[in-house]
Amino acid sequence: MQRKEDIVVVGGYGHVGRTICEILEKKYPGKVYAAGRSLVKAKQFSQTTDGKIKPMQLDINKPLPTDKLERVKLIIMCLDQTDTDFIRAVFRSGIHYVDVSANGLFLNEIEKYKREAEDNGSSAVLSVGLAPGITNLLALEAERQMDQIEEIEIAIMLGLGDSHGKAALEWTVDSLAAKFEVKQDNQQVEVESFTDRRLYHFGDEMGNRYAYRFPFSDQQTLSRTLKSSSISTRFCLDSAVVTKILAITKRTGAVRLLQIGWLKNSIVRVMGRLHLGDDGFAIKVEARGRNSEGKLLHADFLLQGKNQSIITAKVTAAVAKHLYDSPPPGGVYHIEQMTDMTYIQKELGSAISLKTAVN
């Protein structure tokens, strides 16, 4: 039986995947494969690394090619999936798994096969990246500051000057019309995307910004993994004007026009070419709870950085290293269940800054 030591990054020649490959290749030389449906694109990317990252053709919509994966220890998924067939095949093969998906409903589906992962010694880590990912870890840090956590608010500001992948842009446009459930006073309540704005302070440079409810999966996951009775995630752009336009589009019902295929595709294409504003991002986490004596406590976290796609890749690579070197028992985990912000800060170094206040 061959020794399992290779790492396969599915979507490895894509926007986030190539950075993950480049980071991991430095620690695991000769063991990293950039995989995807197009062997041509995989080879082209491989050539830019002088062959250090190897190419692999892998179509996740076809049966798992067990002969190709005999030596694979870890698979990192950077593509959106429509079913769990591929993941279940990975679990049955005893391969560890990391997924950067932000689709809450799909992550819920993966959780259903926890027993299958356990039985085969496959460890899967979900909610990996910026949001979900770092947001989950900051929420965990907030909970650790208190004996009784009551409310966690997460606000994410992304820069229009950043470079966003097509899939991320399509998801953002589609999400403007979404309805989703959040945990509010220990009840599941349905809310609408881009409503119920709240004002947050994103540091002295960016100042105050209104942020709106948005269906990031962290708020659904954290409602199960943390003890807070209320959890919400809101979103805004660094341009207050563009954020306001999106809010008006939602309020007037014009957001329905975005369901027209050609119009949505045109908007996604334009958004991908425009680089207005900055490439910075900020995450604000505000939490409320009590200490052991019943005194009211507030925790405030502000994390800032640049190029959210690069940060997503760095967080994913950090989790992959952890999973590769020290895998937990087989099962399905979210990022906050297998690591913490201290480890991620150490891995990311000066790429992010974090300010904390508890009073």
Span 202-228, pLDDT tens digits? 999 889 999 999 999 999 999 999 999
pLDDT of residue 185: 97
Backbone angles phi, psi at 245, to 5 degrees: -60, -40
pLDDT of residue 245: 80
**Average pLDDT over the chain, rounded to an integer:** 92
Give the pTM.
Answer: 0.93
Q: Of 220, 201, 197, give the one whose Cα is nearest residue 209.
A: 201
Contact assessment for residue 359 and residue 296, using Cβ atoms and an 8 Å cutoff: no
The pLDDT of 89-109, averaged and rounded, is 95
Contact assessment for residue 19 and residue 42, using Cβ atoms and an 8 Å cutoff: no
List, in order of start, the domains of the chain with CATH numbers. Answer: 6-129+311-348 (3.40.50.720), 130-308+350-358 (3.30.360.10)
Confidence of residue 243 (pLDDT cuts 50, 70, 90): confident
From edge to edge, which strands make up the β-sheet containing 72-77? 54-57, 32-36, 6-10, 72-77, 96-99, 123-126, 331-334
pLDDT of residue 355: 98
pLDDT at 165 over 50: no
Say which residues have a Cβ less than 8 Å from residue 326's Cβ, sequence separation at least 6.
Answer: none
Q: Which residue has the higher pLDDT, 17 or 2?
A: 17
The pLDDT of 281-309, averaged and rounded, is 97
